[in-house]
Amino acid sequence: MTKLSVNINKVATLRNARGGNNPDVLRVAQDCERFGADGITVHPRPDERHIRRADVRQLRPLLTTEFNIEGNPISEFISLVLDVRPTQVTLVPDGHDQITSNHGWDTRTHLNFLTDVTHRFREAGIRVSIFVGADPEMVEYAARAGADRVELYTEPYAAAYAADREAAIAPFVRAAEAARVLGLGLNAGHDLSLQNLAYYRQRIPWTDEVSIGHALICDALYLGLEETIRRYKACLMP
């Protein structure tokens, strides 16, 4: 079964908007686990506009499921990950001023850099996933860099889903098949929702994990967190 990792960045955004500790990010993460999430994802950025480095360190001993830390592997991010030692690190080519992740790595151009970073994390016993677009060549070079998994950037799928879901999923199937042939694990994330997740899982059932934050937290405003996680998990059932 495909695992659901809940990205709690938006919870931290809400907390930071007012100051104080409401909502309590640590408690929400533990509640997500209690409600059935298979993992927790955070994406600390240098300006700490949502998840803070202190949150990352405080979460590590509290979590009982898989902990996934996403981010651009600049020096301070590398140091944080090596200190915390999560289950998985997902390498994302974020710029400092990006609102959200909006593209995957050019793994061919950045092969040497990604190989060096991946080696450091794997030496520390951390599973490495590289964030890529739905391009078999980018998947291939992620494998050459030594990654354990790739995470497919699914915003283009989500954007095109309503108009033609078969056309939307086609490049992702090709990229996912390339990952399988290369022996890579397979993750997916960005703009997956209750509307498009089940079909994605149906067409690419060997997906190991999806990481979902924004849509899930928005749904929780209406459905409640426990019911929302239950519905997302139901989308991932065989």
66 is catalytic: no
214 is catalytic: no
Regions of the chain with pLDDT less than 70 = 95-102
Backbone angles phi, psi at 19, to 5 degrees: 85, 175
| pLDDT score for 98 | 55
Nearest to 82 by CA among 120, 54, 109: 120
155 is catalytic: no
Tokens 């498009």: give the residue.
196
The rounded distance, in Å, linking the Cα atoms of 8 and 10 is: 6
The rounded distance, in Å, linking the Cα atoms of 6 and 34 is: 12
pTM given for the model? 0.95
> Which of 33, 140, 151, 190 is the catalytic position?
190
Helix (H) or strand (E) holding 16: helix 9-18
| pLDDT score for 94 | 77
> Which of 66, 70, 140, 209 is the catalytic position?
70
| pLDDT score for 88 | 98
